[in-house]
Amino acid sequence: MLKSWKSANLEKFKQLQGRLVTPLSSDGIVPRPSFPGVQEFYRDFLLTSANTKFNSILENCFIQEITDLNSTAFSLSDMKARETNLVESMKQKYFICICSLQLLSKFLGFLVSIPFKSEAATLIERNIQISLRSHFNPSLNLQKTLLNALVHKKLTLTIPWMVEYLAVMDPVAFRLPYYIKVCQVLYYIYRNSEVLTSPKGSLLITFILGRLFELPNFPKDLYFTCQSTFNDQRIRDEISSHLNQFEWFEDSLSPASLKKTDVLLDELELIDDRIIITCCSFLKEFKILLISETGNFGNINRHITPVSTQLSQPSTEPKVKALQLQQEDAFFHGQPDSVKKTVDFVAERIASNAVKHICRELIPSIKRKHFTVLRKAAVETMKSTPDFNNRKEKQFHHKFLNSENSPNLVALIIRDLRDYGNESIPRICQTKCTKALFSLLSEDTHTAVMKMCVKICMRLSIEKINQWLNFYIGDAVNFKQTHSEYLVFKPKQEAKEANIYIHDSSTLSPTQIIDLIRDSMWELMEKNGKWSVLTEENVLKILKRLKKALYGRKDFQTFVEKTIYVLSIDYAIHLIVYNQYLFTNTVLEEFFDLWKNYEVEDGSNKLFEGIMSCRNIQWLRYTCDSNCWKKFGNLIDRLLRGKLLEIGNFSDQCVAIFRRDLPEDVTKFLPGCMNEAIKGFNANDEETERIKMMMRWISAACSELDESENENEDYGSEAQQFRFENLTL
The reported pLDDT for the residue numbered 345 is: 93
Confidence label for 368 from pLDDT (cuts 50, 70 and 90): confident
| Of 86 and 197, more confident | 197
| Of 44 and 728, more confident | 44
Tell me the average pLDDT across 197-224. 88
Tell me the average pLDDT across 5-29. 65
Question: What span, in angstroms and rounded, lies between the C-alpha atoms of 494 and 498?
Answer: 6
Confidence label for 104 from pLDDT (cuts 50, 70 and 90): very high
Tell me the average pLDDT across 63-82. 73
| Of 521 and 501, more confident | 521
Tell me the average pLDDT across 9-19. 71
Long-range contacts of 249-255 (CB under 8 A, 24+ apart): 249/148, 249/151, 249/152, 250/151
State the chain's mean pLDDT as an integer: 76
Tell me the average pLDDT across 37-65. 89
Taking 80 as the threshold, does the pLDDT of residue 224 lie above it? yes
pLDDT tens digits, 283-330: 777 766 666 555 444 444 444 555 444 444 444 567 788 888 888 888
Taking 50 as the threshold, does the pLDDT of residue 632 lie above it? yes
The reported pLDDT for the residue numbered 478 is: 64
Rg (CA), the chain: 40
The reported pLDDT for the residue numbered 663 is: 79
The reported pLDDT for the residue numbered 685 is: 63
Tell me the average pLDDT across 592-618. 77
Taking 80 as the threshold, does the pLDDT of residue 229 lie above it? no
Tell me the average pLDDT across 190-205. 88
The reported pLDDT for the residue numbered 621 is: 82
Tell me the average pLDDT across 126-138. 84
* % of the chain surpassing 90 pLDDT: 10
Nearest one of 168, 160, 120, 103 to 279, comparing CA atoms: 160
Lowest mean pLDDT, pick from 131-140, 222-231, 608-617? 222-231
SS3 content of the chain, % helix, strand, coil (to 5): 75, 0, 25
DSSP state of 361: I
Question: What span, in angstroms and rounded, lies between the C-alpha atoms of 729 and 727?
Answer: 6
Tell me the average pLDDT across 194-222. 88
pLDDT tens digits, 330-348: 888 888 889 999 999 999 9
The reported pLDDT for the residue numbered 350 is: 92
* % of the chain surpassing 70 pLDDT: 71
Q: Which residues contact 584 (CB under 8 A, 6 or more apart)?
A: 536
Question: What span, in angstroms and rounded, lies between the C-alpha atoms of 381 and 358?
Answer: 33
| Of 261 and 551, more confident | 551
Tell me the average pLDDT across 594-617. 76
CB 97 within 8 A of CB 157: yes
DSSP 538-595: HHHHHHHHHHHHHHH-S---HHHHHHHHHHHHHHHHHHHHH-GGG--HHHHHHHHHHH
The reported pLDDT for the residue numbered 502 is: 57
pLDDT tens digits, 444-499: 888 889 999 999 999 999 999 888 888 777 666 766 666 666 666 655 444 444 44
Chain length of the chain: 729
| Amino acid letter, 214 | E
The reported pLDDT for the residue numbered 488 is: 60
The reported pLDDT for the residue numbered 678 is: 78
Q: What count of Cα atoms within 13 Å lies in the side-chain half-sphere of residue 69?
A: 24
CB 466 within 8 A of CB 421: yes
Confidence label for 729 from pLDDT (cuts 50, 70 and 90): very low
Q: At what angle do helices 155-167 and 86-113 cross, to 10 degrees?
A: 30
Question: What span, in angstroms and rounded, lies between the C-alpha atoms of 393 and 400?
Answer: 10
CB 82 within 8 A of CB 475: no
Lowest mean pLDDT, pick from 239-243, 573-577, 612-616? 239-243
The reported pLDDT for the residue numbered 308 is: 47
Domain boundaries of the chain, sorted by first residue = 28-74+86-289, 340-497, 504-607, 608-729
| Of 36 and 598, more confident | 36
Calculate the alpha carbon distances from 44 to 35, 38, 134, 701 in Å: 10, 10, 29, 88
Phi, psi at 155, each rounded to 5°: -65, -35
Tell me the average pLDDT across 529-547. 82
The reported pLDDT for the residue numbered 349 is: 92
- Exposure letters 548-560 (e unless 16+ CB within 10 A, then b): ebbbebeebeeee
Using left for φ > 0, alpha for ψ between -120 and 50, and beta otherwise, residue 687 falls in alpha
Taking 70 as the threshold, does the pLDDT of residue 96 lie above it? yes
Three-state DSSP state, 660? coil
Confidence label for 151 from pLDDT (cuts 50, 70 and 90): confident
Which uninterrupted H or E stretch holds 510?
Answer: helix 510-526
Lowest mean pLDDT, pick from 130-144, 203-217, 628-642, 712-726? 712-726
Tell me the average pLDDT across 174-179. 90
Tell me the average pLDDT across 123-128. 80
Q: Which of 20-24, 67-71, 630-634 shows the highest mean pLDDT?
A: 67-71
pLDDT tens digits, 107-121: 999 999 888 876 656
Confidence label for 698 from pLDDT (cuts 50, 70 and 90): low
Lowest mean pLDDT, pick from 17-26, 93-102, 629-638? 17-26
| Of 542 and 386, more confident | 542
Taking 80 as the threshold, does the pLDDT of residue 222 lie above it? yes
The reported pLDDT for the residue numbered 653 is: 83
Confidence label for 724 from pLDDT (cuts 50, 70 and 90): very low
Q: Which residues contact 440 (CB under 8 A, 6 or more apart)?
A: 342, 346
The reported pLDDT for the residue numbered 253 is: 35
Lowest mean pLDDT, pick from 94-108, 248-262, 455-469? 248-262
Q: Which residues contact 307 (CB under 8 A, 6 or more apart)?
A: 323, 327
The reported pLDDT for the residue numbered 457 is: 93
Tell me the average pLDDT across 656-677. 78
CB 699 within 8 A of CB 671: yes
The reported pLDDT for the residue numbered 99 is: 92
Tell me the average pLDDT across 499-526. 77
> Residue 75: beta bridge partners?
262
Taking 50 as the threshold, does the pLDDT of residue 722 lie above it? no
